Structure 1
């Protein structure tokens, strides 16, 4: 019993634990310098069978933290759950909630943050009720981590910044520097790379000053990635190389692997394909025994891309087959779409244009299905977050109700002294309830808007615009008025993303939506139905007027490049237009518009084409 030999006696002297032992604190501090050695010591020194349940729970808590530090999420979850099996919330409330927070961080790393939200929320409430500031800060930190994974950045910022302001520690998980590093992660995930850099830099400076090599390796990885994505490619590469070197010195093979995978992206960006291939193969060797299928897929896919770029088609086929071994289309829909697109490139390079076309068609179909599913998943996620926030509000109400009950008991003895205070608190509770009713209604209204709106462009999402199309077509057929339907597709949009980055692509989509909003009538309806595809409905509009309106819009779209101000960036749009005739249904009109769009692209793009069944119009 090398590590926990003296802990049993410490816990035996007290009924309930309210802090970790000195042995635990010592091991936690060593995690930043020698995590692999701590893991070896722990696995060789499990508590004896006659040790107290609190000792066993604490042992598995530090074991879980160690696995988490070494990036083994599943083992971290199993260790935390093993620790929780020895205690209950009633027997060891402080230890129970801290173990649940440790489990939550591992669950987030495993990719299921929403499963941990309610447990973290309970820990926040317990820490507030018991005035336990350290647990409260840790719970805020973990909840910010979960919200970041769920892309709920306002909630993440709220929790991280409160934790940052309360923390007075200079080492450990809830130190100011560590929380600053997580704020950097939040901004990086949101795409605000320049905002992430100063927070990462603060964490890096702290780790250097306090000689915390593991933390230094982790935050250098974040800083290097943020600089690379912000356009500081050479600086980002230098920082990622240092991160890999530090991880290598700590025997943190997973850290080395992640750094090499990111460095390979830089090599691809620099078109140094030989170095990219070398880095990817080394990363593949590191992750070979980790059973991390998403990482194995990403590496094989990147090798596939490198082989395509260098024209080594036989090698590209091998890497494609390898990537597909790790691909789960059900849980990795966006990756499935990327593979279809790469297979199209491979077939085109091999001269088989029919197969290339088939793969691109499949990619488009999968993309459409994915965006529809994604909207539904986002709504589900928002509902879950809403339940968590509603639970927070309920806890606040209960807290005020408990105070009110205690006050009522005291008022029985000192009625005259506390009468006005009682009325004041009652009024405060009523005001809080009124405020909360208002907030619940506001949140409900916001959720309704989110359910029908595309979060990037602010236009209607696919589900809602198709519902609008069906309503408008039914009304047009019933009341016999003109209706035009069109599909707009931004030309060569994937090339814009590949050449200038997804941030520029997002700006193009946002500026496009602004132009549409300014130049279409209030009665016209537009929504996003795919990555760069938009459906437009023009009620009470004949074919000639519809053509003129859309052709004018097409000319204005070309001015988006002037707003974005990037040299050599050219933006155009192809538009397929159709018109209600013979009582056709909404899906037929949408299919006709799509056919006309295909013709516009075939004829050279940057034009409006009318479906053949519609009346001809002179352009």
Structure 2
């Protein structure tokens, strides 16, 4: 069921089920083994039985550990993340008391999977890696398979798709190598995970191939919960390919299975996507349609709230706000957005907060309350900066952790080499020249290895620096680097009394481009625009992507009239589409641009605010134009105190 949560995260950021996959080689007593077999069919019934058994009387440590182990699976299947983690950690604690190494490391797999459903999934990496190392050392292919799936799941939750894919491919290959080993997860089961990763990478046809493989397997094995997940994945992939008939067929079958199982959250996920299809297909809702959608979404919101699934609760509220907006009921839409903002703030959902503030600004603008719209835009900019800072800190901490692990491994290797050298020196007097030669050769190889590691680390540092300063999709400067360089240019302009122009350019109707031609076309448009900017403007100009379809341009030493001429020439160039974009009939690329001659009394934040207001003015005046202030005309804006 974790797959549904992750699929929903991707539409705006994560769970993958591994129910029973981690128990394929654990020798459970008959009572617990029977309950485990029922998890995929009726997890809520299993929870009820185990909770009653644990409440009845105290149990021996190993027996309770077995119950907690199965209970974690049942909670996991029901998408009750905190309960799944509590049960898994209790099983792990009891396993330590028993001294049973096999049970202990199976419980580590279980803890890793449960952390995958937690707010911070990163602790699951340590548990999963410990189980994987033990399984490989003790030649336990069942645990190795389960550990690979758990590590792939946690990395997927952490949005490290490349690492997740490597773990899932390893599990898939292991299954192919052991087709007759009942303890190893079947390749068709692992295929569902591979389908999900390809789906996130927008490789929808490859995702469909793996989802079909897993769906056939789950039908044959009567695994209803996993079948519902694979059908859900197929519905999402087909809808991404604009195959509405196939998408609806698979979504509806998935929902029917979830409702039959009493899986309210599973049905809620599917209902949310079905509403999304209806909203995409219907530009204006009538009163009946709006009422039906509102009733369905209110039930969905309540379901996610009861399960403490706050991320999806916010997603459902956003869908409801969109429905009200499409019906031109802006005040009701604003109420929903404000409700979602309260939840996002309470539970630290910063990315959601950024999106909600953008929607709040749009609604205020539709209500002609431009002052509130501007205030919402400023809040969105601040929230986006906070989110980027948090993301950067998280990535940096992860990088530091990886470096520390590498350092420890390297030190261990050096210690091992030193021990080997000392032993060789003790024996050297009794050995002939051949042994001495082998020792010298070994040391030489070690030196080469150290040099290789050093060179590799330098290259990795250079790559990390590049990634930190550029936008991955377009190759332009990212927001942080662009603003840093723009601030520097303001300082230089102030020092040398040189003119400096700055513009914010926003692609007109970019959402319509995405909705009409697909996100792949949208990505191609962004790449084309970035290439044209590099061609049309000077190498000394600052060009950066600071938002989804928003770009920052700074022209040192250039006055307003020259900047306007350059920008209009660039806009003309973008009207001539290359061959690969000309295939999209009706596609036109225009811009709304706010341009200012930067008053050197301003800092970058003030300048951005002025340019942003001019951009909104360009939008209001009909788009496809440059709106600018006359030289030194900054009326209505107070400079920052120097």
- Note the 1:279-428 alignment, pairs <5 A: 279-284=296-301, 286-287=303-304, 289-311=306-328, 316=333, 323=340, 326-328=343-345, 331-340=348-357, 342-343=359-360, 352-354=367-369, 357-390=370-403, 393-394=406-407, 397=410, 400=413, 422-428=439-445
| Match in the other structure for 2:230 | 219
Q: Which whole-Å CA distance do the structure 1 matches of 2:553 and 2:174 have between them?
A: 50
Q: Which whole-Å CA distance do the structure 1 matches of 2:310 and 2:494 have between them?
A: 52
| Match in the other structure for 2:622 | 604
CA pair 50-426 structure 1, distance change in 2 beyond 3 A: farther
- Note the 1:210-609 alignment, pairs <5 A: 210-271=221-282, 273=289, 276-277=293-294, 279-284=296-301, 286-287=303-304, 289-311=306-328, 316=333, 323=340, 326-328=343-345, 331-340=348-357, 342-343=359-360, 352-354=367-369, 357-390=370-403, 393-394=406-407, 397=410, 400=413, 422-560=439-577, 563-564=580-581, 565-579=583-597, 586=604, 589-609=607-627
Higher mean C-alpha displacement, 219-228 vs 321-330: 321-330
CA pair 584-262 structure 1, distance change in 2 beyond 3 A: closer
Q: Which whole-Å CA distance do the structure 2 matches of 1:65 and 1:590 have between them?
A: 51
Q: CA deviation at 1:128?
A: 4.2
Residue 156 of structure 2 corresponds to residue 148 of structure 1? yes
- Kept in 2, the 8 Å contact 1:512–1:560? The answer is no
TM-score, with length taken from structure 2: 0.81
Q: Which whole-Å CA distance do the structure 2 matches of 1:47 and 1:61 have between them?
A: 16
Q: Which whole-Å CA distance do the structure 2 matches of 1:531 and 1:45 have between them?
A: 53
- Kept in 2, the 8 Å contact 1:579–1:589? The answer is no
CA pair 469-409 structure 1, distance change in 2 beyond 3 A: closer
Q: Which whole-Å CA distance do the structure 2 matches of 1:376 and 1:509 have between them?
A: 24
Listed as ranges, the gaps of 5+ residues in structure 1 are 1-17
Q: Which whole-Å CA distance do the structure 1 matches of 2:26 and 2:439 have between them?
A: 37
Q: Which whole-Å CA distance do the structure 2 matches of 1:321 and 1:597 have between them?
A: 26
Q: Which of 176, 179, 191 lines up with 1:180 in the alignment?
A: 191
Residue 168 of structure 2 corresponds to residue 160 of structure 1? yes
> 1:152-189 CA distances to partner (integer Å, 9 max, x unpaired)?
22212222212221233687884322222112222223
Q: Which whole-Å CA distance do the structure 1 matches of 2:84 and 2:46 have between them?
A: 14
SS in 2 for 1:484: strand
> 1:538-592 CA distances to partner (integer Å, 9 max, x unpaired)?
2344544433322211212333586433222322112333346677655555455
Q: CA deviation at 1:91?
A: 3.9
Q: Which whole-Å CA distance do the structure 1 matches of 2:217 and 2:53 have between them?
A: 32
CA pair 340-380 structure 1, distance change in 2 beyond 3 A: closer
| Match in the other structure for 2:211 | 200
Q: Which whole-Å CA distance do the structure 2 matches of 1:402 and 1:129 have between them?
A: 21
Q: CA deviation at 1:67?
A: 0.8
Higher mean C-alpha displacement, 455-464 vs 60-69: 455-464
| Match in the other structure for 1:86 | 94
Residue 145 of structure 2 corresponds to residue 137 of structure 1? yes
| Match in the other structure for 1:109 | 117
SS in 2 for 1:489: strand
Count of matched residue positions in the alignment of Structure 1 and Structure 2: 594
| Match in the other structure for 2:640 | none
TM-score, with length taken from structure 1: 0.84
Q: CA deviation at 1:197?
A: 1.6
SS in 2 for 1:46: helix
Aligned residues: CA RMSD: 3.6
Listed as ranges, the gaps of 5+ residues in structure 2 are 1-24, 634-642
CA pair 536-57 structure 1, distance change in 2 beyond 3 A: same
- Kept in 1, the 8 Å contact 2:258–2:267? The answer is yes
Q: Which of 10, 28, 31 lines up with 1:21 in the alignment?
A: 28
- Kept in 2, the 8 Å contact 1:452–1:460? The answer is yes
Q: Which of 23, 31, 44 lines up with 2:39 in the alignment?
A: 31
CA pair 280-562 structure 1, distance change in 2 beyond 3 A: farther
CA pair 237-580 structure 1, distance change in 2 beyond 3 A: closer
CA pair 477-295 structure 1, distance change in 2 beyond 3 A: closer
Q: Which whole-Å CA distance do the structure 1 matches of 2:533 and 2:229 have between them?
A: 44
CA pair 374-506 structure 1, distance change in 2 beyond 3 A: farther
Higher mean C-alpha displacement, 188-197 vs 118-127: 118-127
Q: Which whole-Å CA distance do the structure 1 matches of 2:618 and 2:205 have between them?
A: 40
Q: CA deviation at 1:228?
A: 1.5
